[in-house]
Amino acid sequence: MALVLYNTLSRHKELFEPHTPGLVKMYVCGVTVYDLSHLGHGRAYIVWDTVRRYLVWRGYYVTYVQNFTDIDDKIIRRAQEENRDWREVVETNIKAYREDMEALNILKPDVTPRATEYLPDISAFIQGLVDKEYAYRAKGDVYYRIRKFPGYGKLSGKNPDQLRSGASTRVEEQQTAQKEDPLDFALWKDAKPGEPSFESPFGSGRPGWHIECSAMVQKCLGDSIDIHAGGEDLQFPHHENEIAQSEAMTGKPLAKYWMHNGFIRINSEKMSKSLGNFTTIRELIKHYDPMAFRLFILQTHYRAPIDFTDTALEAAAKGWETIRDALLFGEQEFSAVSSDSSLSSYRERFQEVMDDDFNTSEALALLFELAKPLVKVRNVKVHGGTVENPGALMQEWQTLKELAGVLGLIKVTNINISGPSTSSSFLKFDDDIKEQIVLRGKAKAEKNFAEADRIRNELKAQGIVLIDKKGADGKLETIWHREEDPTALSAGVH
Ligand SMILES: [Zn+2]
């Protein structure tokens, strides 16, 4: 059986064949941290988390990178409105974002680059585009010259000539005279008085939004990745501009597969703040179980729009109760029995529907097929009846548990989320960490404690914490985890 997915670039379903068999490099555009996350963010990150989990279940090693845009007009404006330091706005919202994602059972990315941490890479990228004449300096700004890139519009299907007459609303705000073409977009913005700014070869200022992703994709994952994903509103201009920047720079396709999730509409209107129907994730989960929301999202195919209404969410909450009750019943009834036999017929059907462009709504139908008999038997038992054919029921429960874990409806600990990476430039990946731990062990054995400490501190600076402990065989071993997540990613190295 083969996995096919819809590629926005070709507008067709295509066979999924990553550049390196078995390895998937995936980049998802993250949030601009100026406010709390809303239901649209909730949908997007549930969808990409589910894709990631499924790929891992399917046997791929997935490296998942998702950025934070931590410098932007909206952040600066918010800081001014609230009379706070912009960095405080950023930190508060990153913390809130992480809490929201955890509530929705969304796994942490392997790497979460922030724009302000990659300024030297961003500057070097811009300089490269200037050298190749894809970009030009105009006073303190630097702009991308879209006329120079022949493929401009290939992702969104937009033609630059039509765009010029139509002047889309999301085209860069400044229609300044120094631009050669109104569609040219800013790579670097000149510092304005009273606004945060950073030094660069182009003078003091800050990066544009699009360039950060191009620079961070390249730095964290390389020139060509397998999946680049985001909300459908990012197709244009953001992803179109990322393609223009990256492909002009490297001459290689930025991503083999471009994936986009559909909008969420509240009572049939496209969700936006201006319509006054803005709902945050934390507001929602005061009223509903976060897993009911996750199930609600996965009931619809990820590319289709979703209508959010209270009635629809209440129905999803009922559905979630069925799955939850079945899981709990199985836990009480069978957890003492140590057997690990999922039903291959269900696993195969699950794979068949998920292999068809991640059809989570069909996958959920299978989960209900498994959950309903369990709940029925539970009800019989509650009324004093006996459980018949416990062997078959136990298998159903185990299958349900496994497949619910793939859809992220329950926490799982036995799923290997971070595999080996092929990137050698980036220390944060597992293989590089393991190599450093081995080197540190060697230094300690040679009583070179200064070197051992240097390696420990270098890893610490990158958020990797080492713990020395005695293993089962009495020998000392070093395990590690990421500072931001002591539970999800730990690996033993002797
Ligand atoms: Zn992006």
pLDDT tens track for 124-142:
999 999 999 999 999 999 9
- Band (pLDDT 50/70/90 cuts) for residue 469 is confident
pTM of the model: 0.82
Residue 372 pLDDT exceeds 80: yes
Query: What confidence score (pLDDT) does residue 335 get?
Result: 77
Q: Which residues of 436-452 are buried (b: 16+ CB within 10 A; e: fewer)?
A: bbeebbebbeeeeeeeb
Residue spans of the domains in the chain: they are 4-265, 430-493
Query: What confidence score (pLDDT) does residue 442 get?
Result: 85
* pLDDT tens, position by position, 435-451: 788 888 888 888 889 88
Query: What confidence score (pLDDT) does residue 472 get?
Result: 60
Q: Rounded distance, CA 434 to CA 427, Å?
A: 10
Q: How far is the CA of 335 from the centre of ligand 1 (A)?
A: 44
Query: What confidence score (pLDDT) does residue 463 get?
Result: 73
Q: Which of 87-101, 150-164, 312-326, 472-486 shows the lowest mean pLDDT across its residues?
A: 472-486
Residue 337 pLDDT exceeds 90: no
Residue 485 pLDDT exceeds 70: no
Angle 201-204-207 from CA coordinates, rounded to 5°: 80
Question: Which helix H or strand E contains 486, and what residues bound it?
Answer: strand 485-493
Query: What confidence score (pLDDT) does residue 415 get?
Result: 37
Query: What confidence score (pLDDT) does residue 23 get?
Result: 94
Contact, 79 vs 35, CB < 8 A? no
Q: Averaged over 67-73, what is the pLDDT? A: 95
- As a whole number, the mean pLDDT across the chain is 87
| Percent of the chain whose predicted confidence (pLDDT) is above 90 | 67
274 or 322, which is more confident? 322
Q: Averaged over 405-424, what is the pLDDT? A: 55
Q: How far is the CA of 234 from the centre of ligand 1 (A)?
A: 8
* 3-state SS assignment for residue 144: strand
User: Can you identify the CATH homologous superfamily of domain 4-265?
Assistant: HUPs (3.40.50.620)
Q: How far is the CA of 300 from the centre of ligand 1 (A)?
A: 24
At residue 447, what is the residue type?
A: K
- Band (pLDDT 50/70/90 cuts) for residue 363 is very high
Q: How far is the CA of 230 from the centre of ligand 1 (A)?
A: 8
Neighbours of 225 (CB within 10 A): 24
Residue 37 pLDDT exceeds 60: yes
Q: Rounded distance, CA 247 to CA 250, Å?
A: 5
- Band (pLDDT 50/70/90 cuts) for residue 191 is very high
- Band (pLDDT 50/70/90 cuts) for residue 271 is low
Pairing of the two strands 185-190 and 205-207: antiparallel
* Class of residue 77 by CB neighbours under 10 A (exposed 0-12, middle 13-18, buried 19+): middle
Q: How far is the CA of 2 from the centre of ligand 1 (A)?
A: 29
Q: How far is the CA of 101 from the centre of ligand 1 (A)?
A: 19
Q: Which of 30-44, 313-327, 464-478 shows the lowest mean pLDDT across its residues?
A: 464-478
Continuous H helices in 105-194: 119-131, 160-166
Q: How far is the CA of 484 from the centre of ligand 1 (A)?
A: 22
| Percent of the chain whose predicted confidence (pLDDT) is above 70 | 86
Query: What confidence score (pLDDT) does residue 434 get?
Result: 72
Query: What confidence score (pLDDT) does residue 417 get?
Result: 34
Q: How far is the CA of 29 from the centre of ligand 1 (A)?
A: 4
* Class of residue 95 by CB neighbours under 10 A (exposed 0-12, middle 13-18, buried 19+): exposed
Q: How far is the CA of 238 from the centre of ligand 1 (A)?
A: 6
